[in-house]
Amino acid sequence: MEDPDNKKLRSTPRNADDVISIVMPYVTDPKDRESASLVNRTWLRADSETRDHVTMALCYASAPDRLARRFPNLRSIKLKGKPRAAMFNLIPDNWGGFVTPWVNEIALSLRRIRSVHFRRMIVRDLDLDVLARARGDELEVLKLDKCLGFSTDGLLSVVRHCRNIKTLVMEESSFLEKDGNWLRELALHNTSLEVLNLYMTELTKLSPRDLETIARNCHRSLVSVKVGDVEMLELVRFFNAAVNLEEFCGGAFTPETPDKYIKLTFPPKLSRLGLTYFGANEMPMIFPFAAQIRKLDLLYAFLGTDDNCKLIQKCPNLEVLEKLRSTPRNADDVISIVMPYVTDPKDRESASLVNRTWLRADSETRDHVTMALCYASAPDRLARRFPNLRSLKLKGKPRAAMFNLIPENWGGFVTPWVNEIALSLRRIRSVHFRRMIVNDLDLDVLARARGDELEVLKLDKCLGFSTDGLLSVVKHCRNIKTLVMEESSFLEKDANEMPMIFPFAAQIRKLDLLYAFLGTDDNCKLIQKCPNLEVLETRNVIGDKGLEVLAQCCKQLKRLRIEQGADEEGMMDERWGADEQGNEDLGGFVTQRGLTALAQGCQELEYMAVYVTDISNESLRTIGAYLKNLSDFRLVLLDQEERIRDLPLDNGVRSLLIGCEKLRRFAFYLRPGGLTDVGLRYIGQYSPNVRWMLLGYVGETDEGLMEFSKGCPKLQKLEMRGCCFSERAIAAAVMKLPSLRYLWVQGYRESVTGQDLRVMSRPNWNIELIQARRVPEVNLGDVREMEHPAHIVAYYSLAGQRTDCPPTVRVLREV
């Protein structure tokens, strides 16, 4: 008996062409399709044969017959005619955008079309008749979106010939209404309609009885109906019949008798609603099902502010709300409604010059101002001009100050602006000072005046303040969301000022301490205040003690990066301490003790990059046992300790790789003797999913590298440094790694010619040699020349070998 699963496949692909034809239908993004079609003729043909939808932003961008030849199997097409400016009456009606040539091509060639969407185009009755007769019952979707030129005769032809149509849309289209026969025809002969959209049309001959018939005949499928000005009480029977209706828009109310609408009931599944021209008196009829409303369109509702609030309070599950601020009563109201949507400052400036009404509207609705020079206006003048500002950006010194071309005492004081904010601009939520002089008193006044309402404070390239001022800000502004002091010069007092962070430390998710002058104890004190920390970046001065605190307090930690810290003056006392018995302890360094505590306490870790002073096999086993979500692990063993007691780390790295099955990126940079050939074999054997790997000072002989290359099936990028391998072994290993796309090696047993590397030569594989060189390096003021060993760089490239190599790079040509 045939396996039923086999029936799902048309056939087993026999070659690459078959594979492409199977895969291509699942590539749906047009940009991805476009890129794929440029690969070669096979991909182009596959795209041509499997493309089922095309959207043309301008119907003149291609000839219809050309498109039909390019995509003969289209099932859906969307065409846009007039430019978008036509929506604002800026384009003449007869500009163009006729559907006739496209309809003729659909009838002639595109015989699989199921869905047609015309937008801002001119459609004639003959076009609709040709389309309907050509596609017949196979046409499922017809959207005439903001179109014009047709009449109800054309619609009658569509509904007569296309009995299986599921979606019929004419929203905002302008057409001639001769009679209502087309809707009657649709009601009597269609049983699969899902969407009927006649919204914002001027149809007056719609029969509520026909809508009721549609609801009864299509009661299983009908989910969305949008109509024009149909009296709501005439739709009672329609609502009763449309049991699966989820969306309704339109309707009309008689204001003289509002009470009669209170008992009006709606379909049980209705969740998207847009009633036109209804007011507060009719609003209670919505309350019984308001809790299930997901989308509410109040664009054409006569509701005041209080009524809007009352209705919205009844809709706790609302996801989409469309609403004008208020119903315009005159030209002034229209301007006040439109002005908030004018955001460009230049447009605002031009609008404010029209007359006093436009000036007043700009004044009342402007919520942000940027001043390129703080002296361009007096603070009180700006406050009178724009009293409702919520955001203010001020620039002080000219840009040349960034290059030390302007004296520091040139000017740009924020004091008068801060005083005005405190006095008049009481809606300010965001303040941005750039290249200005800010003192602690300014920050204190600002913080006390705005309090918890201040959400954004940016001190950008500013100077003059200290951590005292910042402490005042964080004390009084508990809801601040953005605090920026980039490239600012301010007085940082001792670590006792760290408590300025404490008031909001519990909400910190990411903490960057890479450039903080904090010792081990200060790191611990701060971390204890951040129980919700997810990302921490710091230096190894955090020490084992800091990692133990981290393990106890930060159970949600996902990313940890510990960089090597320089021995800054004053930090050595923090690094060296003593344990409880008085024995010397590596107080400011990371060792196996801290890593073990971290692995046991922070089991959500996904990324860990650490510089360690000492390491053991047992600590690596602990990481493998507890950190099951780890996908990126990077460890560098420093040379600060003369002797590491537990080398080599063969068994530890084996346990880590076995336990951390999600690893995709792995760096293991040790010291000579850190890993034997056995450990290198373990890395290859237990890294099935690793795609990037950095190895330093691992292995003992070429045999170890060859054992390594038997594994790592998904390794794409390999970097090695300080290894003992020969050129021939490196080349042979590369040939065994099936997914490798990039190789970098520094410090290997190089030969004079590099000819042994030709073993890995193959098409599209570039091999480059960078000769050894001496490079000057500065360390604590001393300049010394350091020897940089030779490099190998090899990589795949469809572009062939480089032609811009400098003299220090030698390209090995393919044999």
Decide: 285 and 262 in contact? Cβ < 8 Å. Answer: yes
Judged on CB neighbours under 10 Å (0-12, 13-18, 19+), 256 is: exposed
297 φ, ψ (degrees, to nearest 5): -105, 110
Q: Is the dihedral of CA 328, 330, 333, 335 positive or negative?
A: positive
Could you write out the DSSP letters of every residue in 349-409? HHHHTS-HHHHHHHHHH--EEEESSTTSS-HHHHHHH-TT-SEEEEE-S-GGGGGT-S-TT
Nearest to 115 by CA among 87, 145, 86: 145
Predicted confidence at residue 698, as pLDDT, reads 94
Q: Could you tell me the pTM of the whole model? A: 0.47
Burial 115-150 (b: 16+ CB within 10 A, else e): bbbbbbbbbbbebbbbbbebbeeebbbbbbbbbbbb
Q: Is 452 in contact with 478 (CB distance < 8 Å)?
A: yes
pLDDT in tens, 512-555: 777 666 778 888 888 888 888 888 988 888 889 999 999 999 99
772-798 pLDDT, tens digit per residue, is: 777 676 665 577 777 778 888 888 776
Q: Which helix (H) or strand (E) holds 440?
A: helix 440-450
- Lowest mean pLDDT, pick from 61-65, 72-76, 122-126, 447-451: 61-65
What's the CA gap between 812 and 815, in Å, rounded?
Answer: 9
Contacts of 73 (CB under 8 A, 6+ apart): 49, 50, 51, 52, 112
Residue 164: exposure state from Cβ atoms within 10 A (0-12, 13-18, ≥19)? middle
**Where residue 632 falls among pLDDT bands split at 50, 70, 90?**
very high
pLDDT at 399 over 70: no
DSSP output for 549-607: HHHHH-TT--EEEEEPPP--TTTHHHH-EE-TTS-EE-TTS--HHHHHHHHHH-TT--E
Please give the Cα distance from 238 to 224 (Å, whole number): 12
Q: pLDDT tens digits for 685-702?
A: 999 999 999 999 999 999
Tell me 158's DSSP state.
H
User: Are 391 and 368 within 8 A, CB to CB?
Assistant: yes
pLDDT in the model for residue 606: 95
Report pLDDT for 445. Answer: 94
The confidence score (pLDDT) of residue 585 equals: 46
User: From CA 753, how far away is CA 624, in angstroms rounded?
Assistant: 43
Q: Has residue 228 got a pLDDT over 50? A: yes
What is d(CA 636, CA 488) in angstroms, rounded to the nearest whole number?
33
What tokens appear for 297 in the block?
């369109």
428: buried, middle or exposed (CB in 10 Å: 19+, 13-18, 0-12)?
buried
Please report which confidence band the pLDDT of residue 14 belongs to, taking 50, 70 and 90 as the band edges: low
Please state the rounded mean pLDDT for residues 316-328.
68
**pLDDT value for 803:** 66
Q: Mean of the pLDDT values across residues 635-663?
A: 91
User: What is the per-residue pLDDT for 198?
Assistant: 94
The residues near 212 (Cβ < 8 Å, ≥ 6 apart) are 237, 238, 241
In terms of Cβ atoms closer than 10 Å to its own Cβ (0-12, 13-18, 19+), residue 59 is buried
Q: What percent of the chain has pLDDT over 70?
A: 84
Residue with tokens 């499922």: 140
Q: Could you tell me which of 105, 122, 126 has the C-alpha nearest to residue 54?
A: 105
How does pLDDT run across 797-813, given as a tens digit for each residue?
A: 765 676 656 677 788 87
Residue 535's H or E segment, with its range, is strand 535-539
Q: What is the mean pLDDT of the chain?
A: 84
Residue type for position 712: C
Q: Which of 142, 140, 95 is nearest to 121 (CA)?
A: 95
Q: How far is C-alpha 11 from the chain's CA centre?
A: 39
Q: Which tens digits make up the pLDDT trace of 568-627? A: 433 334 344 444 444 344 456 899 999 999 999 999 999 999 999 999 999 999 999 999
Task: Report the b/e string of 674-712 with b at 16+ CB within 10 A.
Answer: bbbbebbbbbbbbbeebbebbbbbbbbebebbbbbbebb
**8 A C-beta contact, residue 492 and residue 462:** no
Which DSSP state fits 759? G
The encoded tokens of residue 726 equal: 């020969």
User: 636 falls in which pLDDT band (50, 70, 90)?
Assistant: very high
Asked whether the beta carbons of 112 and 140 are under 8 A apart, the reply is no
Contact in structure between 164 and 192 (CB atoms under 8 Å): yes
Which residue in 64, 50, 78 sits closest to 106, CA to CA?
Answer: 64
pLDDT of residue 763: 84
Task: Report the candidate in 743, 740, 754 with the shortest Cα–Cα distance to residue 815.
Answer: 754
User: Tell me, what amino acid is at 564?
Assistant: Q
The pair of structure tokens assigned to 764 is 């599209």
Token pair of 311 as six digits: 């209705």
